[in-house]
Structure 1
Amino acid sequence: MSATGVEKTEASATREDLRREQDLKELLLWFQQNEKLPKEIDPLLLRRFYQCMYGDLAETQKLIEVNYALRNRHPHLFIQRDPLDADSRNTFDYADILPLPGLTPDKAKVSLYCFRDFDASKMHHTEDTRAFFMVSDCRFVTPDDSANPELLSEGEVQIFDMKGTTMRHISRLTISTLRAYIKFLQLAFPVRLRAIHMVNCPTYLDRIVSVVKPFISDEVFKLIRFHTVSLDTLYEFVPRAMLPEEYGGGAGSLETLRTQTQKSLVKHRDYLMDPNHWVVEKTEKRNGNSWRFFK
């Protein structure tokens, strides 16, 4: 590239940075003045909303309002929580919910979900879902790449290890929780969902799919890939270097990743439990009428 070409590229990048900075200031002011939203938002989370909507201010505002409306509609999943309480300990004792380090070559963040204990009686779907969102909320205010804190993921890849999953686990699903979880994932997540990989699928996979498919949009269902033979097909989509040692990767052991995740939860405990970041106060300000979500 010529010197002139480099200068033009740098100038374009500078203009883009300035526009983003101005847009984020405008978004923050809008957020603070919006009665439908909490009092505070972490700057990094605000950036994720903005990037998720490709820098479209109007679409970003819509996504933010839907996100907090759903949170306040289901406070038992998103607000009334503590990463150190007995319910959370139960979840993290039998299951792993782990953001994996680094980003894929196309800048996607990868997370892994798997059972550590296959005893179905230890599964409590609503409490487990609440734990999932606590881990996600910690991740959203943590840089995706420690080497480059300004670099944000441009998509979300989820890996569900179905090893040990039985129909007893499926029978313990709470339909209202499943519906809220999928709705939030489809309509309110502050990152773009790129793929869902199901690994170690059991022979009765079709029965499991028949239970959850009615709640999943066709668009999201098309993102699901089922790996029924080995992990070799997963490596075509997720670099082995990003996966735990137990999955043939180089990202450290599950125990190490588990410890890192738990440290993050403890570090962000006050944030997760701070109503100023999550709770919308319903006031009678709009023409004397009480405002309700999704009216």
Structure 2
Amino acid sequence: MAPKLNHPFMEGLKVVPEGKQKDLKKIKTWMSSQPHLPEISDQYIYLFLHACYYSHEKTRSAIENYFTIRSNYPAIFSDRDYKSAKLHHIFIKLGYLISLPKTTPEGYRVLLYSVKDNDPTKMVFSDCIKAFCMYNDIILSEDGLQEGYIVVFDMKGVQLGHLARVSLPALRCFMLYIQEAHPCRLKAIHVLNTASWIHHVMRLIVPLLKSELLSLIKFHTGNIPENFPTELLPAEYGGEAATMKEFEKETEFLLGKYHHWLIESSEFKSDESKREKKASWWGLFNSSNKSNEMDEKTVLKNLQID
């Protein structure tokens, strides 16, 4: 199968949306007038349409941002060979990246991320962001048009030293990508075992957050979010799912399955030499966040940890 056709779903989209052909046609017509955008499959367009609840304006914006960011930040979106020494170290040694098998009653997929090695000196922030994005691409391919996603991030093992190793350009790129480009319906973000110094983290990211994303974040002092279906969680969290070690094997299997697919995915990016209107890609962030400025002091004052 040609690379264009097995992206973003390696095995194809199993359930194609009904009655959405007109939406697809409108976006395809628009893309044909944008010479800098890559040629992509209809299924790729359906992914964006679904993520944007079939709003044409939001879909066009997401597509533009997605391929532009991937072109302009190669440190995160190129060289996606998980077998390379630095990426293999992240996937196998530094952390757990887990997609839980059962969905919530609403049909949302739960993704769990946690630290395996708590030594900050072993972390290269931009490489960790790259690995995170690679894994998320795999999950989108596996899930198809998922109703929504809940992210659970366990801070246990995270040190202040990790914060000191954050690269601001990479962080800014990542926050833009997640908020303006990543084609998924994000429903909630739960932070477990929240560190006492979480305010330092928030001071760093609040200037980059839109109010919509901030409203999804919930902080918890313990292992389990309140009113969360705990049976979905791994055994280590008191749930009925498999152990973290067993999930780790599943992640390794997926990485092997998607090895060449991930490398191919680097081809899907804008060609800036063909862009009709030249502009700084950082302008994407400035324009998208301009109407959503938040008072940092107010946010930190209202920061609640359950």
Interval containing the TM-score (normalised by the shorter chain): 0.7 to 0.9
Aligned to 1:97: 97
**Residues 97, 111 of structure 2: 8 Å contact kept:** yes
Aligned to 2:71: 72
> TM-score, normalised on structure 1?
0.81
Q: Distance in 2 between matches of 1:37 and 1:241?
A: 43
Matched, 1:215 2:193: no
Q: Deviations over 1:97-151 (max 9, x none)?
A: 222223211122211111111111111111000000000111111126xxxxxxx
In 2 relative to 1, CA 276–253 (structure 1 residues): closer, same or farther, beyond 3 Å?
closer
In 2 relative to 1, CA 41–96 (structure 1 residues): closer, same or farther, beyond 3 Å?
farther
**Residues 48, 63 of structure 2: 8 Å contact kept:** yes
Deviation, structure 1 residue 46: 3.0
Matched, 1:225 2:218: yes
> Among the aligned pairs, what percent are the same residue?
28
3-state SS of the aligned residue for 2:37? Answer: coil
Aligned residues: 267
What aligned pairs does 1:107-186 form with structure 2 within 5 A after superposition? 107-143=107-143, 152-186=145-179
Deviation, structure 1 residue 203: 2.4
Deviation, structure 1 residue 59: 2.7
Aligned to 1:7: none
In 2 relative to 1, CA 283–183 (structure 1 residues): closer, same or farther, beyond 3 Å?
closer
Q: Distance in 2 between matches of 1:30 and 1:47?
A: 14
Which consecutive residues of structure 1, in runs of 5 or more, have no partner in the other structure? 1-15, 145-151
Letter in 2 for 1:40: I
3-state SS of the aligned residue for 1:165? Answer: coil
In 2 relative to 1, CA 17–159 (structure 1 residues): closer, same or farther, beyond 3 Å?
closer
Larger Rg: 1
What aligned pairs does 1:12-91 form with structure 2 within 5 A after superposition? 18-24=18-24, 27-28=27-28, 31=31, 34-41=34-41, 43=43, 45-91=44-90
**Residues 167, 208 of structure 1: 8 Å contact kept:** no
3-state SS of the aligned residue for 2:187? Answer: strand
In 2 relative to 1, CA 32–84 (structure 1 residues): closer, same or farther, beyond 3 Å?
farther
**Residues 284, 290 of structure 1: 8 Å contact kept:** no
**Residues 81, 259 of structure 2: 8 Å contact kept:** yes
Matched, 1:272 2:272: no
Aligned to 1:188: 181
Q: Distance in 2 between matches of 1:117 and 1:26?
A: 48
Letter in 2 for 1:132: F
Aligned to 1:198: 191
Q: Distance in 1 between matches of 2:165 and 2:266?
A: 33
Which consecutive residues of structure 2, in runs of 5 or more, have no partner in the other structure? 1-15, 285-306
**Residues 40, 276 of structure 1: 8 Å contact kept:** no
Deviation, structure 1 residue 217: 2.3
Letter in 2 for 1:39: E
Q: Distance in 1 between matches of 2:160 and 2:32?
A: 46
In 2 relative to 1, CA 31–256 (structure 1 residues): closer, same or farther, beyond 3 Å?
farther
Q: Distance in 2 between matches of 1:21 and 1:83?
A: 36
Aligned to 1:259: 249
In 2 relative to 1, CA 142–24 (structure 1 residues): closer, same or farther, beyond 3 Å?
farther
Q: Distance in 1 between matches of 2:30 and 2:170?
A: 31
Letter in 1 for 2:69: L
